[in-house]
Amino acid sequence: MTRGDRLTEVVRERELSALVVTNLENVHYLSGYTGTNGVAVVGAEGQRDFFTDFRYLERAEVEVRDFERLRGKRDLLGDAAERLSAGRVGFEEEHMSVRSHRRFEGLVPEGVELVGVHGLVEGLREVKEEGELAIIRRAAALADDALAEALEGGLAGRTEREFAMALEDGFRARGAEPSFESIVASGPNGSLPHAEPGDTVIAEDVLVTVDYGAKIDGYCSDCTRTFATGEVGAEAREVYELVRAAQAAAGEAIRAGLGCKEADSIARAVIDDAGHAEHFGHGLGHGVGLEVHEGPRLTPAASEEETLVAGNVVTVEPGVYLPGRLGVRIEDLVVVTEDGSEVLSQLPKDLTVVGET
Ligand code: ZN
Ligand code: ZN
């Protein structure tokens, strides 16, 4: 069954006559198209239209499979509207502005009722096919390799930004791009989970959190390791071991059937028990694929019905952040399997002192 076939089933289940797909990652997933202007229409009766404008027709000729390739105008919503017939037609409400929606309402033929839906294609994307897993495995291995190489140049004495650039140069040298802007956060900067690497010179005897991912063939990886640049002191070591224990507990529990909320709570309980509940301010993890943050989300906010299924690719990334002092996050990228998980992040998780020989 093609991805288009699977979406047709979802369209039927939702009692829609068609779904208009405007999110480009979703269009890419369904059709193979990688350009920057494209819309797909998937009908309950097998209609499968793809539109792009003249700039991308040649690209579409090469890339688009399983869809009828149609030449559109620059405003593809108008073209999509012309292919719709009466009935309930879904549109991706998370990916359409209020303004576009208003315009679309004016373009669709009489008898079409536009229905906002979300997560239909994203739901399919959460379960990876073997081919997708193969690419993500390569991306993860490549990113680890680039980090190992960057670390050979040491951490202390370089600025956070210099280190981030060395790492990302390593991705490019290996034919990949960064899947997001790398985080290199040293010393007190580590207490900001999303710190941007700056001009801070990495000191001796501090922790440094490096959150990095590579993107190849459209797919992302995501991993975090926290390193030491020397003797970091008892508090830092304690927090490190705590995060490591929380990461291990959740990592060992990951398997098909585990609740998304439950996965989060396994790691959270370890951190709470150590008195650091308020220092773990984000969810345990997220899905990774064409986007670095996608479903499923492993958070306290996940509903009880959301469970992991085989083929999900998720991160397991607890952290503890002590404002103004230090931060530790350890993140693995894992593939969920029927009886456990396959860990794609291969760098060691023992606290590693970089620069020590
Ligand atoms: Zn990350
Ligand atoms: Zn992540």
Amino acid letter, residue 81: A
Ion ligand 2 neighbours, Cβ < 5 Å: 222, 315
Q: What is the CATH number of the domain that holds 46?
A: 3.40.350.10
Ranges in the chain, pLDDT < 50: none
Q: How far is the CA of 62 from the centre of ligand 2 (A)?
A: 33
Domain end among 125, 152, 175: 125
CA of 334, nearest ligand number: 2
Same domain, 231 and 89: no
Do the domain assignments include residue 348? no
Whether residue 101 is contained in a domain is answered as yes
Tokens of 280: 């773990």
CA 331 to centroid of ligand 2, rounded, Å: 7
Q: Which ligand is nearest to the CA of 212?
A: 1
Domain boundary among 64, 90, 125: 125
Domain count, the chain: 2
Which pLDDT belongs to residue 273? 98
User: What pLDDT sits at residue 356?
Assistant: 65
Three-state DSSP at 141 gives helix
Q: Rounded to the nearest whole angstrom, what is the distance from the C-alpha of residue 51 to the centroid of ligand 1?
A: 34
- Mark whether 153 and 262 lie in a shared domain: yes
| Per-residue confidence (pLDDT) for residue 357, from 0 to 100 | 54
Task: Measure 332 CA to ligand 2 centroid, in angstroms.
Answer: 8
The CATH number for 214's domain is 3.90.230.10
Distance 297 CA to ligand 1 centre (A): 14
pLDDT attached to residue 234:
97
Q: How far is the CA of 224 from the centre of ligand 2 (A)?
A: 8
Give whole-number Cα distances, 60 to 49, 50, 235, 332, in Å.
Answer: 12, 9, 56, 36
Six-digit token pair at 79? 């073209």
User: Within a domain: residue 246?
Assistant: yes
The ligand placed nearest to the CA atom of residue 213 is 1
Find the 193 Cα to ligand 1 centroid distance in Å: 10
On whether both 180 and 275 belong to a single domain, the answer is: yes
Containing domain of residue 339, as a range?
Answer: 130-343
Distance 19 CA to ligand 1 centre (A): 32
